[in-house]
Amino acid sequence: MAGSVRVTMTVNGAQQSAEVEPRLLLVHFLRETLGLTGTHVGCDTSNCGACTVHLNGEAIKSCTLLAAQADGAEITTIEGMGQEGALHPLQEAFWEHHGLQCGYCTPGMIMASADLLERNPKPNEEEVREALAGNLCRCTGYHNIVKAVLAASEAS
């Protein structure tokens, strides 16, 4: 039986600490230990991007990271992006432009898009599409997601 490791990280601005199995994936730490269920799991192979969160400001796939690897890090999840009445511009844009249907990929899409706009505040359509290559959506055909990201870029 493997031992446990203590992990401490700042999640959406609040410090969190827990004793966890080494094999606990970051996504399960966020969802099950901390109850932040906005980050989703859609595949096993780092392809779908539904689990995308920010680690020290950069988008990563939290299903391909051990919680232990994020020890000491700052994590931002969809729950840290905006609140009712004070949505993040990307959340507003996804809503306005119908950039979601079932909503399952949406938190990951928004987090990946935020990473793009941080690096490249005024992307063109091709850049948006390339930046989202690691996020799969089965509902929208991406048309309105791309439109939403471009609109959020315009708005900021």
In the numeric block, which tokens belong to residue 75? 């994590």
User: Which positions from 54 through 113 interact with other proteins, judged by CB under 8 A?
Assistant: 55, 58-61, 63-66, 68-69, 71, 77-79, 81-84, 87, 91, 94-96, 98, 100-107, 110, 112
Residue 104: alpha-carbon gap to chain centroid: 12
**CA 87 – CA 127 distance, rounded (Å):** 24
**CA 74 – CA 92 distance, rounded (Å):** 24
User: Which positions from 17 through 56 interact with other proteins, judged by CB under 8 A?
Assistant: 21-25, 28, 31-32, 36-50, 52, 55
User: Which positions from 106 through 125 interact with other proteins, judged by CB under 8 A?
Assistant: 106-107, 110, 112, 115-116, 125
**CA 60 – CA 105 distance, rounded (Å):** 14
What minimum distance in Å lies between the beta carbon of 154 and other proteins? 16
Under rule CB under 8 A, residue 8 binds other proteins: no
Q: Count the site residues for other proteins by CB under 8 A.
A: 86
